[in-house]
Structure 1
Amino acid sequence: MKAIAVVAAVLGFAAAVPACAAGYPDKPIKMLVGFLPGGGTDVTARLLATKLSEKLGQSVIVENRPGAGGMIATAAVARSAPDGYTMLMASAADAAQHLMHKDLSYDLLKDFAPVSLVVTVPFALAAKPTLPVNDVAELVELARAHPGELRYASSGMGSAAHLSNELFNTMAKVRIVHIPYKGVAEGVTAVASNQIDMVFASFPSVMALAAARKVKLLAVSTPYRTAVMPDLPTVAESGLPGYARYGWYGVVMPRNVPSDVVDRMNAAIVSVVGAPDVREAFIKQGLEPKSTTRQEFAGFLKDEVEQATELARASGLEAAR
């Protein structure tokens, strides 16, 4: 009788374990990216996906669904089955979308399970080759002399590039006009071809063009210089004291994914991001590796939403919805 009871207890425990968690993952996983190939989100996703595939023993496939400042991909993940086989490479753009769109179909803080932060992203302030400035101070002077004539690119309304430039506008007391694109790669291309004056973009998006002298880098957006380009001054030290903005990329899944599945993915990401070769690869791309616990990432997202809200209100963006 005792043996029967033990067997029954074991069977009962096994039945209580969600099927998708017991052998997870047992099929390929999709990682959606809301921007075009070539941008920082895509570069981060593809490097992470390659290493996660090796770690998990299943393919992690990056799928680009660009448009609407990343919202198309984010909405698709929010609607997907909560089984752990669809996830999103989220970005700073996701923290501000609720301010730009009244009819947003999802809530970043309520409709997703935070998995882990992956990297933080210093932005390079890149200008078109023919723009007659060589530093931030000269850019501010030019913008003040020609209000509304200069234009900047972004990867969409509410994107990190958008908010970075709006902070620049607010602090410098200038009016540089926003031109949104489907992805930062398109915006950078527009700058390199002299169609748009400037863009705040991740280093992976601009380093090759800067080396080929197709864009000129004026400054880095963080309050500190980056290891990848230590000679590039910060915006704050080169003409706009107190300026500081950066982006980030991290992984989320739909809400209601079993907790142990999220734990499994978190452990895999932390392991991959912490590997010396992966850290070196990210740093070479101008990205700063930074994995977290699930709880730390949840707190980080809450802080990001609050900061984006404050910036949008201060610059009048919220009223433009």
Structure 2
Amino acid sequence: MHTPRPSTMRRALLASLAVAGCTLLSGLVHAADWPSKPIQLVIPYPPGGSADLLGRPLAMQLQQQLGQSVVLEYKPGAGGTLASQYVARAKPDGYTVLMVLAAHAINDSLYPKLPYDTRKDFAPVSLVANLPMIVVGSSKLPAKNVPELIQAAQANPGKLTFGSAGNGNTGHLAGELFASTAGIKMTHVPYKGSAGVVNAMLAGDIDLTFDSISTSMPHVRSGKLHALAVTSAKRSALAPEVPTVQEQGLKDFDITGWYAVVAPAGTPADITTRLSQEIAKALKNPQVQTQLAASGYEPVGSTPQELGAHIQREIDRWATVVKATGARVD
């Protein structure tokens, strides 16, 4: 058996260390140079919805801070899972990121087979904002508050229709949980995005919706729709005159929509940390805060670690709701 001479072993070791060093240096340079080209922010719903209303001012401010274009890419469908699948398979270089909603956590238990792993295929970046939801009635719904809505549903089991921005959307589960908690039956009608729900409401095609306050409130102000309640534990600053569901008898009913940014798993931590810091900075911009407040958003900002813990809690929470309500994807 031949034993390599010390000088040979030393040269081999130095060569290995050089390769490792170059690899590490390459990664550091890559992270330090980010971003050097446009960033794609994928929106899982059509234009005009709550994710779009949040994504536009955020993208514009990030462009100014980063010196690169932040392009909104819309990939609606299947309750946000098409966009999630697209980003999960994207190159983990920080140039393709995804705006996720609470539905991202809901889908983990609502869909029997997802083409990605919610827990493993994404790198958390930042929690962006919270947004209260509102129970809104169309012109065909005579009920003007929660007790009247429950009475109407009890008198007509299964006949009242509530729309949502899609199967698995927060509005879908909010409606299912409301019905389960109140002991009533309503029929769910899914649409492709909040804009589709609002249009159906304005046309009188459905009775009510559990929608983001940002998309429905303008039509409430115009008198075309009427607000019955907000679903959060406290009233919204955007509509302080609208009582909560809890105030109207359904104790412990608390659902608030949330929005966050994630990247493909494997994205360098330097990049996700940098982006989370830039998002937090953008959310503190006075102009951005004014724009978001006008639509009812409550800016948050978080570290990647905080978002990761938040998503895990939400996955666990909604799994319980899905099981309790019997909600399913039609």
Compute the TM-score of the two structures, normalised by the length of structure 1. Answer: 0.93
The one-letter code matched in structure 2 to 1:286 is G
1:132 maps to: 142
Q: Does residue 31 in structure 1 map to residue 60 in structure 2? A: no
**Structure 1 residue 125 displacement after superposition:** 0.7
The one-letter code matched in structure 2 to 1:60 is V
- Matched-pair contact (CA < 8 Å) for 2:173–2:327: no
Q: Does residue 176 in structure 1 map to residue 186 in structure 2? A: yes
Whole-Å Cα distance in 1 between the matches of residues 191 and 80 of structure 2? 11
Whole-Å Cα distance in 1 between the matches of residues 23 and 309 of structure 2? 32
2:124 maps to: 114
- CA shift digits 1:39-71 (9 cap, x unpaired): 111111111111111111101011111111111
Whole-Å Cα distance in 2 between the matches of residues 174 and 83 of structure 1? 48
2:247 maps to: 237
Q: CA RMSD in A?
A: 1.8
1:40 maps to: 50
Q: Does residue 218 in structure 1 map to residue 228 in structure 2? A: yes
Q: Does residue 266 in structure 1 map to residue 273 in structure 2? A: no
Compute the TM-score of the two structures, normalised by the length of structure 2. Answer: 0.91
Whole-Å Cα distance in 2 between the matches of residues 20 and 193 of structure 1? 52
Which aligned pairs between 1:246-285 and structure 2 lie closer than 5 A? 246-285=256-295
The number of residues matched between the two structures is 313
1:53 pairs with one of 63, 75, 79: 63
**Structure 1 residue 280 displacement after superposition:** 2.5
Which aligned pairs between 1:300-315 and structure 2 lie closer than 5 A? 300-315=310-325
Greater Rg over alpha carbons, structure: 2
Whole-Å Cα distance in 2 between the matches of residues 258 and 189 of structure 1? 42
Identity %: 38
Whole-Å Cα distance in 1 between the matches of residues 69 and 48 of structure 2? 21
2:15 maps to: none
1:21 maps to: 31
- Matched-pair contact (CA < 8 Å) for 1:137–1:240: no
Structure 1 runs (4+) deviating above 6 angstroms are: none
Q: Does residue 192 in structure 1 map to residue 202 in structure 2? A: yes
Whole-Å Cα distance in 2 between the matches of residues 44 and 169 of structure 1? 29
- CA shift digits 1:158-197 (9 cap, x unpaired): 1110111111011100111111111121012111110011
Whole-Å Cα distance in 1 between the matches of residues 269 and 86 of structure 2? 21
**Structure 1 residue 29 displacement after superposition:** 0.4
Q: Does residue 203 in structure 1 map to residue 234 in structure 2? A: no
> What's the secondary structure of 2:248's corresponding residue?
coil
- Matched-pair contact (CA < 8 Å) for 1:122–1:203: yes
- CA shift digits 1:132-183 (9 cap, x unpaired): 1111110010001100101111111211101111110111001111111111
- CA shift digits 1:72-124 (9 cap, x unpaired): 11110011000100000000111111222222111222110000000011001
- Matched-pair contact (CA < 8 Å) for 1:18–1:258: no
